[in-house]
Chain A
Amino acid sequence: MRPEPVLYGDRKVYPVSAFNRGVASWLQRLPTVWVEGEITELRRQAGWQSVFFTLKDPADGACLPVSMPRGTFDALGLDLADGATVHVFGRPELFAARGTFRLRALSLEAQGLGALLAGIERLKRTLAVEGLFARSRPLPLFPRRIGLLTGAEAAAKRDFVTAVQARFPAARVLVAETAVQGPGAPRAIVAGLAALAAEPGVDVIVLSRGGGSFEDLLPFSDERVVRAVAACPVPVVSAVGHEQDTPLCDLAADTRASTPTAAARLVVPDEGELRERLASLRAALARETARTATRAHERLAAVHAALGREGGRTVVRARERLDAHAARLARAPGALVGRKRAELEGLAGRLRALSPEATLGRGYAIVRAGDAVVRTGTALAPGERVDVQLAEGGFGAVVEETR
């Protein structure tokens, strides 16, 4: 259905409604597409056929009016608030009565935290497998220059610089201010990191960003930024967001700090402490050297004393040995006599055991006739006189008969 112009001479003139219809028919030939943006100015009323809202691009604020059939919108059962990120599937159409164009939505999906978190989780697993989160280089104790990458907002930069100067007044800080939020932020952060790392003497880089919403911190979980942090030739300290936030750049950095102030404590030493430590090291140096000298002296004295003592002890031991010999020598004659006496007494005992007196003691008697000892009865005759000797004394007797 082509709109018909009215002819004024050779000039074709379209009435407004015809013009609008013409544009509308052109718009209808465009394909249906998915559009992403944040919902604002959501208007829904029971009597209306459609729900209206404006899709806003968070990067530059570009706006797109959207209408959606109320029934379709209600059927989604979504609790959408202003600021929610959505994907809208639809095609542009002209609102002929007003000559404004808008997106006619056929479908809508919420792109909430869940969808973003799932994307970050996937990226985290991929990068972890690549080993991007495994590095933790030591920070220099005394960096020649400190690179600070920070947003234009003053707080994080001021906190860091103040803390650095309080601890170590001689620190040299090189500041690179970049966009840290929005779609251009990842590329700006990557460029800032590279520029800082290329500066001579920069021994450590601090990535600083104050607290913000989950979405505000998204650039610090961007794959390009995370890879740049992991590949940075100098150690990187990540001080992004608050304690509870863990953007992926925290994992790729060599060290993580909860705040810019904490980052300052990590990258510069406390000069007062440093000087105290040096003084105490010097004192220890002098003390320990003196102690080594004292110990050497004491050892020498001890060895000398031992030398004298051992010399004396040798003489004493020799004298003692000599005395022992002399004593044994002196005891020797007495012992000899005793031994001989004991031998003699033994012999005397054996002698006594063999004498007739011992036999008589056991009750035997010796019978003599004249001087001869009588051994057989038949050697005697009745009436003959014999002499009987006992152990004690004896008696004379007359033989009555012989057997």
Chain B
Amino acid sequence: MSERPSEPTFEEARAELEKIVAELESGRAGLEEALALWRRGEELHRLCLAKLDAAQGAIEDLGRRAGDASPQ
């Protein structure tokens, strides 16, 4: 689904971020682990925002596009 195999989609990134916060809230994580989770969470947050910012809205017409040799 993503452009590059290593990069998660918005949903995947957000779901992982939710999971990390839940894990931290549970208080199960040790200090080292918590710091690693925090670094990963910040990275996911940046990724989500970047994806939101990069999205470009458009309303296209399939019928007209079909008749067009080079769409867009």
On A, residues with C-beta under 8 Å from B are 140-142, 147, 161, 165, 168-177, 192, 195-196, 199, 271, 274-275, 277-278, 281-282, 284-286, 288-289, 291-293, 295-296
Contact = CB atoms under 8 A, between A and B. Distances in A.
Given A141-B14, A142-B9, A286-B38, A175 B45 contact: no
Contact of A140 (B11, B35, B66): B11
Contact of A172 (B18, B34, B35, B56): B56
B55 interface: yes
Given A142-B10, A175-B62, A177-B63, A285 B52 contact: no
Contact of B62 (A199, A281, A286, A291): A199
B33 to A, nearest CB: 8
Interface residues of B, number: 36
Contacts of A170: 52, 55-57
Interface of B: 9-11, 14, 17-18, 20-21, 24-25, 27, 29-31, 34-35, 37-38, 41-42, 45, 48-49, 51-52, 55-63, 65-66
Contacts of A271: 52
Nearest to B63: A177
Given A140-B11, A288-B24, A296-B31, A173 B18 contact: no
Given A170-B56, A170-B57, A141 B62 contact: no
A292 B34 contact: yes
A289 B34 contact: yes
B31 A292 contact: yes
A285 B24 CA distance: 7
